[in-house]
Amino acid sequence: MTTSPSEPADAGNQQQRQRVGSLQKQAERLLPWLVWALFLLLYASTAAPSIVALFDDTLEFQLVLPGFGIAHPTGYPLYTLVGGGWSHLLPFGNWAWRVNLFSALAAATTAALIFVLARRLTQDEQGRGDPWAGLAAAAAFGLGPVWWQQATVAEVYALHNLFVAAILVVAVGIPRTHGTAFDRRISLLLVLIGLGLAHHRTVVLLLPGLAIYLLWTVPAILRPRRIWLVWVGALAAPLLLYLYIPLRAAQGVADLNGSYANTWGGFWDHVLARQYTSFFTANELSRSYDAAGWLHLWRAQTGWIGVVLSALGLGMLADRKLRPAWVLIVLVLAANLVFALSYRVGDPEVFLLPGLLCAAVLAGGGLALLRRQTPRARWHTPLTVLILLLLMAGGGRDASIDRSGEWAAHDYAVDMAKVDFPPGSRVIGIEGEMTALKYMQQAEQIGLAATPIVANDPEQRRAALAVALAEGAAPYLTRELDGIAAQYSFTGEGPLVRVWPRGQVEAQTPPIRSELALLDGRLLLEGYDLQRLAWAGGPAARITLYWRPTAALDRDLKVSLRAVDAAGVPLTLENGASAVVDAYPLRQVAGATTWAPGVQVRDVYETSIPSDTEESYLLLIIYDAETLEEVGRLAAPLP
């Protein structure tokens, strides 16, 4: 038998095709990991380095998770346990940064799952998904400013949307399985739903779409079988995580505001967040969008390219084979949009994130549809790359997020905790400020001599102040409090103001004497203390002024503090801002007209300064708060 000369060549070509096919499969398997790695690098490098806000849930989670505390309703037990465990596994970085990094990890995993979902939903007749669609979907969602922001701080939404993406990925693969594989896939789906519910209750918004999808694609699922018992267990078992809350409470752990009552009724109030139901009717802090506002928000996340691709993606509903899965995506989008429209909170956009996730998947479908409808010419792939690059560039999208340099809240909290508190001191402030102090006490072991007193209402602060003084404790205020200026005496201590019984301030000798007489000698600036502060966000100068009124003052004063060069021009900071601060004395707690004659008043001001302060000095201008007339000035070399 003879062989044709072409047979060896055909065999070689076949082997070559097999090698290329094998390499393509390996690349397809690696692509989700590459997407994950790139987004993890992006989010981790732009994550907040520490605490970044005093008045939102971020600070609470940065304290609750590493300390395995109890979070506000609904308790978020899964997030607390997993995030807390993660924060203790990392051997470096501060508590807050570790929890911020956990959000980056969850967000990067979400982006990779979106890639997998979009690729799976754009399979051709041969069952091959379009990786370009996956990249478009991941870019459309992963680079959105609202999502990016949640990926860089300690918040619940990164993990929540990870579950949304994971549930959808598992769900769309169910119709292709049979027998025990089908049973296992349903079990996995229910476990994910249960875990999602143990984290964030809005996972229920996926259930209508999932029910329709499963009844449409696998109607036999309704046939009673013993496996149902396993499925019920798969859904219910993760919900036992909520027992973490009463178990921790039984160990003496309380939530930050002390609202959780460890009773049967208190448990359900907390887990079901019953007090939050008013957010569907009225909330004075709510922010709402009209139709144009929601469109603007959508455009701000993906740019106009993303909006157009998402609209084109609706054309995937015409694909008879893939139609049920695309209907699922549209139904989940619609359910989350309706919820975001109905929920009256200050940040409704974060509740739309699952909807934006689905819109991003539609954008991937839109790109896949464009690729199918255009001829397979030489410019086909370059055109696809161009569209993807335009999507990533985000024409019309809001600015990217970089929180890696946000140290202001951290520096404030450190400054507050480093006040030289006498034993038994009490710091009285609103919840966010006191949470920052608690964070520094537990995470950094500073400020331990002070007891934080949460008093959100001014009357509560006034009562706590009176109690502290009556019990002989040293009370400190974080902010002004009307009606107390003429009742007590005060001294500035870092960012706080210490309150004394009227006229009983312990006078100190200023390190630098000045003897500056103001207002015809009725007010003396006896001297000052000038320090250079090595804050994490950059150097700062602190000046402590030692006032002493010799008589009652008839006008209030303000202080302008500025770091200037030799010519008197304000210095420019590294971020482009000028080193100028205008403020009332004593953090606006007590105006000059209320100061007791003869009693020393220590008054503290800080301003950021450039790293290089050679031949520069600090200029202090004292002026009338009403007329703006200058009444005196002081110059001192920058430390």
Length of the chain (residues): 639
pTM of the full predicted structure? 0.91
Query: What tokens does 508 get?
Result: 């100190």
Query: What tokens does 415 get?
Result: 């400054």
Q: Which CATH number fits domain 510-639: 3.40.50.20, 3.20.20.150, 2.40.50.100, 2.60.40.10?
A: 2.60.40.10
pLDDT digit string, tens, across residues 473-514? 999 999 999 999 999 999 999 999 999 999 999 999 999 999
pLDDT attached to residue 354 = 97
Looking at the chain, the number of H-run helices and the number of E-run strands are 20, 13
Task: Express as a percent the part of the chain with pLDDT over 90.
Answer: 76
| 3-state secondary structure (DSSP) of residue 631 | strand
Task: Report which of residues 192 and 383 the model is more confident about.
Answer: 192
pLDDT digit string, tens, across residues 566-608? 888 888 887 777 778 899 999 999 999 999 999 999 999 998 8
- Comparing C-alpha atoms, which of 179, 147, 149, 175 is closest to residue 161? 147
Confidence band, pLDDT 50/70/90 cuts, at residue 125: confident
Contacts of 629 (CB under 8 A, 6+ apart): 623
DSSP sequence for 289-335: --HHHHHHHHHHHHHHHHHHHHHHHGGGGG-TTTHHHHHHHHHHHHH
Q: Decide if pLDDT at 76 tops 60.
A: yes
Query: What tokens does 67 get?
Result: 């300390």
pLDDT attached to residue 428 = 97
Q: Give the max Cα distance, the chain.
A: 123
pLDDT attached to residue 1 = 47
Q: Structural domain boundaries of the chain?
A: 26-393, 407-479, 510-639
Q: Which amino acid is at 29?
A: R
What is the arrangement of strands in the sheet containing 617-624, beginning at the earlier edge strand? 580-583, 557-564, 617-624, 630-637
pLDDT attached to residue 531 = 92
pLDDT attached to residue 194 = 97
Angle at the Cα of 241 (from 239 to 246), degrees rounded to 5? 115
pLDDT digit string, tens, across residues 279-307? 555 555 667 777 888 889 999 999 999 99
Q: Decide if pLDDT at 388 tops 50.
A: yes
**How far is CA 558 from each of CA 305, 479, 498, 583, 627, rounded to the nearest angstrom?**
51, 17, 19, 6, 11
What is the arrangement of strands in the sheet containing 601-608, beginning at the earlier edge strand? 512-518, 523-535, 538-549, 601-608
pLDDT digit string, tens, across residues 505-555? 999 999 999 989 999 999 999 999 999 999 999 899 999 999 999 999 999
| 3-state secondary structure (DSSP) of residue 446 | coil
Task: Express as a percent the part of the chain with pLDDT over 70.
Answer: 94
Query: What tokens does 437 get?
Result: 């102090």
pLDDT attached to residue 490 = 96
pLDDT attached to residue 284 = 58
Confidence band, pLDDT 50/70/90 cuts, at residue 201: very high
Q: Decide if pLDDT at 323 tops 80.
A: yes
Q: What is the β-pairing status of strands 557-564 and 538-549?
A: unpaired
pLDDT attached to residue 620 = 92
Gap between the Cα atoms of 99 and 65, Å rounded: 8
**How far is CA 389 from each of CA 46, 139, 374, 384, 385, rounded to the nearest angstrom?**
21, 9, 18, 9, 6
pLDDT digit string, tens, across residues 164-177? 999 999 999 999 88
